[in-house]
Structure 1
Amino acid sequence: MGRPAPGAERPYDGSVATRPDDLRARLEDRADLLEATRLRYRALKGVLESFFWKDRIRNHFELLREVAADQPEVDATLAAMRRRVEAEGWPHNAAPVRLMHEVERLREAVERAAERRLSASASPASDDDDASEEDDGPATLGERLLRLETEVLDAAPFLGGRVWAQAVELLPRNLPELRAACAAGEVFERVFKRPVTEGAPAFSDDEARELARALPLGAAALVALWERLERYDSRGRVKDFLQRRMRRAPTRVARSGPELLLHAAFWHDVARVRVRAVLEAELAPVVPREAELPTLLSWRAALSEDPALRLSARSVFTEGRAGLVETAAALAALSRERPRGAWNEEVAWSRLEQAAQRARAEEGPEAEALRDALRLYVMLRGQARTPARLFSPEHAKPAGGDVARNGDLVALVQAARHAALRQGG
C-alpha cells in the first residue's frame, strides 16, 4: 500500500474511541472555555511575575476577578477532560489534548506566582503556627486571587492619588455586586424614564412584578458596594465624592465602574421615590414601609388577576399589619368609585369587612387614622358619585355619637356599609 499524500490525514484505524477530527466537537463549549482561560492565564502570569506587579494588578482587577470567578468551572472541566482522555485513549498530539496540557501548565504557573505574591510572616514562629496559617489560608486558586486583590487594595497609597482614579481602582466593572446593581438599574430606567401622562398608571402590572424583583436586588447590591468603598477607602474621600454625585441625572453612557455605580444608584433612588408615591396614594392613610414595597408591588399586580387575593403575612407583614393595609386599599377603592351593580358592591364591602377583621387588634397612629377615615365615610353617608375624600366633615350632617366614639374597626366598617347602602337606596 502506497504512502499517503503529503498533508493527507491518516485513515482512522479504530485504536481510539473517537476519531481525532471529532475530538474538539466532543468537547462542545468546554474547548471555548479552555481557549479563553489560556489567554487569561497568560496575561495574569505576566502581571504577577512583573517587577511592579502591584501597580499592574491595580490596572487589571477585572482580569483577576474573571479568572477567580471562572476557576471552579475551569477546574471541573480540566478534571472531566483528563478522565475522558485517559478512558478513551486520545492521542497526545491531538489539539484538544495539547490545549488541556497547556492550560494545566499555565494554571500551575499562575498559582505559584500568586502564592509568592501573597504576603506572609517574615519569620515563622513555630511548626504549630505554620500549620494554623495553612489551615486559615486560601485553599483554591480563586480564593488566592481574591485574597491577593484584597491585599493590594489594603496597601496604600492608591494609584494616581486622585479621587476618581481611586474610585476606578476600587470598583472594577466585573464586580458581581456592580453587575447586579446595573441589572436592577436597567429595569428602573426603562420603567421611569418615559414621560409621565396625567391620569395614566405609573407602571403596568408586568412592570410592577419586575420592580418587585429589582428593588431588593438593587438595594442589596448597592449596600455591598458602599461597604466595599468604606473598607478600602479609609479616609472616606471616594465614598463622599460618589455620594455627592449620585443624585445627578446621568448624561452619558456609563463605562467605568464608578459611572456604573452612579447610574444604578440614581435610578434606584428614582424608583424608590416613584413607587412609594404610588403606593402611598393608593393606601392612604397607611404609609408603606421600605421593606414592604416589593411585596406590595407583587400583591398589587396580582390583584388585577385575582381581586380576592389576600396579602400574605408570612414575609415582612404581621397578620394585623397585613389586614391594616388590605383595609386601607379596599376603603380607598370604595372612596374613589362606587362599584357598579348590587353584587359587585356586596363583594367589595365583604372584602373590606374581612380585611378589618384581620386588623381588628392593630393599634397605633395609622390604625387610628384609618378609623378616622371610616368615621368620615359614615358622616358623608357614602356619597355615590363624589369621592369621600373631596368632602369636608364641616359640610356633612353629623353622625350618631355612638359611631363617632366607636373604636372597633369592624363596627366602623359595618356602619360605613350601612350608610352607603342606605344612601344608594
Structure 2
Amino acid sequence: MERPAPGVGSPYDGGVATRPDDLRARLEDRADLLEATRLRYRALKGILESFFWKDRLRNHFELLREVAAVQPEVDAALQAVKRRSEAEGWPRDTGPVKLMLDVFRLREAVDRAARRRLSAKDGGPDTLGEALLLLENEVLDAGPLLGGRVWAQAVELLPRNLPELRAACAAGEVFERVFKRPVSEGAQSFTEDEARELARALPLGAASLVALWERLERYDTRGGIRDFLQRRMRRAPMRVPRSGPELLLHAAFWHDVARVRVRAVLEAELTPVVPRESELPGLLSWRAERTARPELRLESGDAFSEGRAGVLEAAAALADLSRARPSGAWSEETAWARLERAAHRARSEEGPEVEALRDALRLFVLLRGRTSTPARLFSPERATPAALGVGTAGDLLALVQAARHAALRQG
C-alpha cells in the first residue's frame, strides 16, 4: 500500500511528524532495551512487594544486579524517548509511547519498593541502581544463608553476573585456551602473541579472584563456604561451568595452572634468578618483545626497581650466552655488551639472588678456564690462575668482563 501524499487527507499531517507504524523504528535499539527492562521491572517489583521478599530476593540476585547494571542506560534511554516524543508530538496511544510510560511507571514502583525495604530511610542512595546494590548487601548481611546447605549458600553469594566473576572468567578463558592443549617436549609453551595475552590476563584474574574471595569472607562469617570452595579448586573442571561457584572454581583452577606454567618457563630462562609473583606480567610482555628486539631493555616502574630490572636483564642475557654461542662476531659482541649494560644497572643490588648470579658468572669463567678440557672432565684444579682469580671477585661488572674475556679467548 502506498503512503498518501502530503496534504491529501493524511490523518498524520497535522502535528505528528512520523506515522505510528514507523515510531518503533525511530526508537532504534532503545525499543529492545525498554522491552527487556519492562520484563525485569515486573519480576523485581513482584519480588520486592511479596511477603517473603528476602527469601525470594536471595534466589534472584542475578536479576537485581542486571537491573542495577543497566539502570544508567535505561534512564538515558527513557529521557531521550520522552524528549523526542514531546518534540515530534507522538500520540499517546501508539506502542512506543505506551512502552515508555509503562517503563516509567514500573521504574517508580521498583524504586519505591526498594527504598521501603532498605533499613536506612534517611539520606538514602541517589539512584535506583545504588539502592538495589545496597539492598543486596543488607539481605546478605541479614543471613543466615539457607541453613547448612553449603553449595546453595555459595550459589546465593556468587551470582553469575558479578563483575568480578565475569572478569575472572574472561581471564580463565585465556588460560584454558593457552594451556589446555598438549605441548610436545622441547616446544614452546606459548607464542609471543599468547604471552602478551597472558600478561594482560594474569593481573586481571588475580585481582578478580582476590575480590571474590573477599566477598565470600565478608558474608560467610564462619568461613565454611570459602573453605569448601578452596578445597575443590585444585580439581580439574570436568564439565562446563554454569552456576556462580562453578565459574569461580573454573577460573581459579586455570589461573593456578597459568601461574605455575608461566613461572616454570620464566625460571628456566632467568636461572639463577627467581621471578616474583608481581613480576610475571611485566616479564611476559618483555619476553614477547625481545624476540623481535633483543636489545630491548626491561623498563623499571611499579613492578621493577632500576636495580632489580638490571638483575633480571643480566640473568636473561647470561642464560642466552650459556645456552648457545651467538652466531657471528657482531652478534657475540652485541650480546656481551647487553650483559655488561645489565650488570651496570644492577650494581646497587644485593641479596641471595645477586650472589647466585655472581656464582653463575664465576662458573661460566671456570668452565672456560682451559679450552682443551671438556666440560664433563673439568675440575677447579685444572683451571688457569687467571680463571681462579675470579673466585674472590665480588663486583658483578668485573665478573661479566672476566666471563667475556674467557669466552672470547676460548673462541
TM-score range, shorter chain: over 0.9
- Give the counterpart of 1:212 among 199, 205, 208: 199
Counterpart check, 1:170 vs 2:185? no
CA RMSD of aligned residues (A): 2.2
User: In 1, distance between residues paired with 2:384 and 2:152?
Assistant: 69
Corresponding position: 1:52 with 2:49 = no
Query: Secondary structure in 1 aligned to 2:234?
Result: coil
Counterpart CA distance in 1 for 2:255 and 2:377 is 37
CA contact (8 A) 1:379 1:396 kept: no
- Provide the residue aligned with 2:15 in structure 1: 15
1:363 to 350, 353, 366: 350
Further displaced range: 26-35 or 233-242: 26-35
Q: Does 1:271 align with 2:227?
A: no
What does the per-residue CA deviation read over 1:40-67, in whole Å, with 9 as the maximum and x for residues that have no partner? Answer: 0011011111111111101111000000
State the partner residue of 1:154. Answer: 141
Superposed CA deviations along residues 187-215 of structure 1, whole A, max 9, x for unmatched, are: 11111111121000111111111110110
TM-score by length of 1: 0.90
The answer to whether the 8 A contact 1:381-1:420 is kept is: yes
The 1:236/1:10 distance shift into structure 2, 3 A limit, reads farther
CA distance in 1 between partners of 2:322 and 2:148 (Å): 61
What secondary structure does 1:195 align onto? coil
Partner of 1:254, secondary structure, is coil
Alignment correspondent of 1:95: 95
- Picking from 244, 268, 277, the partner of 2:231 is 244
1:407 corresponds to 2:394: yes
Are residue 290 (structure 1) and residue 277 (structure 2) matched?
A: yes
Alignment correspondent of 1:130: none
Q: Work out whether residues 382 and 416 of structure 1, in 8 Å CA contact, stay in contact via their aligned partners in 2.
A: no
- 2:230 is aligned with 1:227: no
Deviation at 1:398, TM superposition (A): 4.6
SS at match of 1:301: helix
- The alpha carbon displacement at 1:308 in A equals 1.1
> How far did residue 14 of structure 1 move?
5.9
| Residues 1:159 and 1:392: Cα distance change in structure 2 (over 3 Å) | farther
Which of 305, 308, 314 is matched with 2:301 structurally? 314
SS of the residue corresponding to residue 330 of structure 1 reads: helix
User: Which ranges of structure 2 fall in alignment gaps of 5 or more residues?
Assistant: none
- 1:59-70, aligned counterparts within 5 Å? 59-70=59-70
Contact 2:12 2:18 in 1 (8 A): no
State the SS of the aligned residue for 1:100.
helix
Which shifted more, 402-411 or 369-378?
402-411
Say whether 1:195 aligns with 2:182.
yes
Aligned to 1:113: 113
- Answer yes or no: is the 8 Å Cα contact 2:370–2:382 preserved in 1: no
Q: Against the structure 1 CA distance between its residues 21 and 397, is the aligned structure 2 distance closer, same or farther, given a 3 Å change threshold?
A: same
Residue 124 of structure 1 aligns with which residue? none
Deviations 1:70-124 (A, max 9, x none): 1111111111221122222222222111111100000001011111111247xxx
User: TM-score, normalized by length of structure 2?
Assistant: 0.93
**Deviation per CA, 1:234-277, whole angstroms, max 9, x where unpaired?**
11100010011110111111111111111111111111111111
Distance 1:23 1:170 in 2: 42
Letter aligned with residue 267 of structure 1: W
Q: Contact 1:376–1:393 at 8 Å: present in 2 too?
A: no
Deviations 1:266-300 (A, max 9, x none): 11111111111110110011110000000000000
Which deviations, in whole Å up to 9, do the C-alpha atoms of 1:333-352 show, x marking residues without a partner? 00001011111111111111
Conserved 8 A contact 2:15-2:88: no
CA offsets, 1:310-367, max 9 Å, x none?
1010231000000110000000000001011111111111111111111112111111
Q: Give unmatched runs, 5+ long, in structure 1.
A: 122-132
Deviation at 1:379, TM superposition (A): 1.1
Cα distance in structure 1, aligned partners of 2:61 and 2:378: 64
Distance 1:272 1:383 in 2: 41
Residue 42 of structure 2 aligns to which amino acid in structure 1?
R
Distance 2:405 2:224 in 1: 63
| Contact 2:369 2:384 (C-alpha < 8 Å) held by counterparts | no
Q: 1:310 to 1:387 in 2, by over 3 A?
A: farther
Code of the aligned partner of 1:397: A
Q: Give the 3-state SS of the residue equivalent to 1:252 in structure 2.
A: coil
Contact 1:337 1:387 (C-alpha < 8 Å) held by counterparts: no
Q: Deviations over 1:119-170 (max 9, x none)?
A: 247xxxxxxxxxxx41xx2111111111111111111221253111111111
Q: CA 1:102–1:382 in structure 2 vs 1: closer, same or farther (change >3 Å)?
A: farther
Counterpart check, 1:29 vs 2:29: yes
Corresponding residue to 1:332 among 300, 306, 319: 319
Q: State the alpha-carbon separation in 1 of the partners of residues 236 and 272 from structure 2.
A: 32
Structure 2 partner of 1:40: 40
Query: Could you say what secondary structure the match of 2:33 adopts?
Result: helix
Instruction: Read off the aligned partner of 1:39 and give its amino acid letter.
Output: L
Whether the 8 Å CA contact 1:284–1:328 is kept in 2: the answer is yes
Q: Tell me, yes or no, if the aligned pair for 2:78 and 2:100 is still in contact at 8 Å.
A: yes
- 1:162–1:387 CA distance, 2 compared to 1 (3 A): farther
- How far apart, CA to CA, are the structure 1 residues paired with 2:374 and 2:219? 56
Worse overlay, 361-370 or 327-336: 361-370
* Residue in structure 2 matching 1:419, options 397, 406, 411: 406
Shift in CA distance, 142/256, structure 1 to aligned 2, threshold 3 Å? same
Are the structure 2 counterparts of residues 404 and 268 from structure 1 closer, same or farther at C-alpha, using a change threshold of 3 Å? same
Return the alpha-carbon distance in structure 1 between the equivalents of residues 84 and 144 of structure 2: 49
Contact 1:335 1:387 survives alignment (8 Å): no
- The one-letter amino acid of 2:410's match is Q
Moved more, 155-164 or 40-49: 155-164
* Whole-angstrom distance in 2 between the partners of 1:287 and 1:42: 57
Does structure 1 retain, via aligned residues, the 8 Å contact 2:307–2:346? yes
Do the aligned partners of 1:61 and 1:172 also contact (CA within 8 Å) in 2? Answer: yes
